Amino acid sequence: MKKFLVLFVILALHLSGAVKLKAKLIEVCGTCSIRNLQDAAKNVEPGDTILVRAGIYSSPNYISNLKGTAEKWITITAPKGEEAIFKGQSTAMQLSDPTYLLISNLIFDAQTMNGVNIDDGGSYDSPSHNIIIENCEWRGINATGNNDLLKMSGVDNFIIRNCKFKNGSPGGSGIDMVGCHNGVIEKCIFENQGSNSIQNKGGTSQITIQKNLFINGGMRSLNIGGSTGLDYFRPLNAKYEAKEIKVYSNIFVGSQSPIAFVGAINCEVVNNTIYLPTKWAIRILQENTNEGFAKCANNSFVNNIVYVNNSAANPTINIGINTEPSSFYFANNFWYNRDNKNWAGANLPVSELNGIKNIDPMISEDSEKGITIEKSSPVLGKGVEREMPREDYNGNLFNSPRSIGAIEVNPKSNSVFDNLDKMVYPNPATNHIYIQTSKILEKHQNDFTEISIYNLEGECVFRTKVIYADNLKINLTHLSSGIYLINIEDKLIKLIIEK
C-alpha cells in the first residue's frame, strides 16, 4: 500500500505541474516585473518555462530564435484554471525560427491579422521544428480577409492537439500551412470557419489529421492543397501543393465541402464521417497550373460515411478541369441521401470497390453527445482492412473487420499501450536504458510522447519529448542505485538501477 501511495503521489504531482526541472520559471503578469511575453523571451534559455498568469495581454509579441534542445524544451504556458488571454493586437505571437518549443493553455482572441504566426525565418534550409501546441483556444479573429487563426510557414515535426479554433475570418483558415512537414493535428475542434478549417499547401507533406471535430468548417473544411506562389514553396522545387496528407477518424458536420483535393497527390481520407455538407462532399480541383506542376491525382477515399440530403446529392463530388480523377481510388464507402430513397448514389469518377449506397447508416446528431451511431448500424464490420488508422474518433481501437466511418460501432478495446513495460530495457539497468519510442509512436499514430524519470522523492531527474524518433538511449550514469519511475504518457513503469 505504501509503495502504491508513493506512485500515486508522484503521478499526481506530475499531472498538476508541481514537479519541475531545475530551470528558470519566468512569470508574466500585470503586476510582475515582466509584463509581456516578448520581454520574457529575452531571458529564456533551454529548459526554461514562461508562465503567463491570468489577465488580458494586448501588446504585440515578436520573438525570434527561441530555441530549446531535444533534452530541454522551452515552455510557454498558463497555469491550469487561469485564463491568459492575448487580445486585440495585430498578431498575438509572431515566432520566427523557434525549435523545441511547447505552447499550452493560452487563449487568443480578436487579432486583426493572424492569431499566431510561426515561420522559419525565411530560410528554407533550416525550418522551424519540434513545436507542440496543446490545450490552446482561438476564440475568434477581428478580420475579414485572408487572415488565419494559426499560420505556419516552414514548420517541421509538430503536434497540434486538444485545441479549439472558433469563428475564423471569412477569407482565412483556422490553421494555414505553407511548406510544413511531418506533423499531427489531432483531437481539435474547428467551428464556424471561413474559407477553411485546415489548409495544407505550398509543398506541405506527411501531415496526419485525426480525431478532430469540424462543425461548419468553412467553404472547404479540409483544403488538401491550394494555390501558392512558387517563391513560397518549401522545398522550392516541390511540384505539388500537398502530398501524403492522411485524414483519419474525423467527424465533419456541415461545410460547403468538407473534403477538397486541390493539386494534391498520394493523399488518403480513411474512416471519416461526413454529415450533411451543404453543397458537395468532395471536390477535386487544380488551382496551380504552372508548367511541370503535378495534377491532382492518385488520392484515395476509403471506409467513409457520407450522409447527405438533396442539397449535396447532385452532384456529391465536384470535379474541376486539369485534374486526373480517374487515378483516384474509392473503396468501402457508405453513401446515403436521407431525402431520397431512390438516390442513384454519388457521381464517382471511377468504379468503387465494395461501395454501399442508400442504406441508412443509423447515425444522428445530438446536441450534447454530438454525432452518434446505433449499435445495430449496417456499417458494422463493413470496412476494408487498413493498417491506419488504428483508433477511431473516440480513441477506441478499430475491430477486425472494422466499421465504416469515424466511430467503431462496437469497440472491444481502447488500450494502445499494452505491454508498455516491455519497451524499456534493460531493467534492472546499470548505466543506460533504451526505450522503443518508435513502437510507442507507432501505437500512438505518429504522435509525440513525453518521457520523464522520477526518483521516489518526487524529483524529476530526466525529461524529454520525442517526435518521429528512433529508439531512445538514456544515460543513467549520473543516477545512483535505487528505484525510479518512468512516466510515458501518464503510464508509470518501475525502473531499477543497480551499480
Domain layout of the chain by residue ranges: 172-414, 420-497
Q: Which three cell numbers stand for residue 195?
A: 474559407
Cα dihedral: 184, 441, 394, 301 (round 10): 60
Q: How far apart are alpha carbons 121 and 416 in whole angstroms? A: 38
> Which residue in the block uniquely carries the three cell numbers 468548417?
217
What is each CA distance from 250 to 139, 170, 176, 246, 304, in whole angstroms? 21, 23, 18, 11, 10
pLDDT (tens digit per residue) in 164-201:
999 999 999 999 999 999 999 999 999 999 999 999 99
Residue 221 cell numbers, joined = 473544411
Return the percentage of the chain with pLDDT > 70, whole number: 90
> What pLDDT does residue 367 have?
78
- Look at residue 312 and tell me whether its pLDDT is greater than 80: yes
CA 77/CA 119 separation, integer angstroms = 20
**Identity at 41, one-letter amino acid code:** A
Average pLDDT of span 350-355: 97
The region of weakest confidence among 204-218, 247-261, 387-401 is: 387-401
pLDDT tier for residue 418 given thresholds of 50, 70 and 90: low
Q: Nine-digit cell at 61?
A: 509579441
Read off the pLDDT of each residue in 235-256 and give the average, rounded to a whole number: 96
Position 201 scores a pLDDT of 97
Q: Work out the average pLDDT over 461-482.
A: 81
What is the structure's pLDDT at 393? 95
* pLDDT class of 17 with cuts at 50, 70, 90: very low
For residue 6, the model assigns a pLDDT of 40
For the chain, the average pLDDT equals 89
- 20: pLDDT confidence band, cut at 50, 70 and 90? very low
- SS3 for the chain, per residue? CHHHHHHHHHHHHHHHCCCCCCCCEEEECCCCCCCCHHHHHCCCCCCCEEEECCEEECCCCEEECCECCCCCCEEEECCCCCCEEEECCCCCEEEECCEEEEEECCEEEEECCCCEEEECCCCCCCCEEEEEEECCEEEEECCCCCCCCEEEECEEEEEEECCEEECCCCCCEEEEEECCEEEEEECCEEECCCCEEEEEECCEEEEEEECCEEECCCCEEEEEECCCCHHHCCCCCCCCCEEEEEEECCEEECCCEEEEEECEECCEEECCEEECCCCCCEEEECCCCCCCCCCCECCEEECCEEEECHHHCCCCEEECCCCCHHHCEEECCEEEECCCCCCCCCCCCCCCECCEECCCCCEEEECCCEEEECCCCCCCCCCCCCCCCCECCCCCECCCCCCCCCCCCCCCCCCCCCCHHHHEECCCECCEEEECHHHHHHHCCCCEEEEEEEECCCCEEEEEEEECCCCEEEECCCCCCEEEEEEECCEEEEEEECC
Which pLDDT belongs to residue 491?
Answer: 73
User: Which of 279-293, 379-393, 424-438 has the lowest average pLDDT?
Assistant: 424-438
Q: What is the pLDDT of residues 482-494, one digit of tens each?
A: 888 888 866 778 8
Q: What angle do CA 415, 421, 423 make, to 5 degrees?
A: 95
Q: Is 137's pLDDT higher than 70? A: yes
420-497 CATH:
2.60.40.3080
Lowest-pLDDT range, 71-75, 298-302, 340-344?
71-75
pTM exceeds 0.75 for this model: yes
Instruction: Decide if pLDDT at 421 tops 80.
Output: no
Least trusted range by pLDDT, from 25-39, 134-148, 423-437: 423-437
**In the chain, % of residues over pLDDT 90:** 70
Q: Above 50 in pLDDT, residue 293? A: yes
pLDDT given at position 434:
87
Of 476 and 448, more confident: 476
- Smallest Cα–Cα separation from 135: which of 81, 191, 87, 176? 81
Which has more confidence, 415 or 394? 394
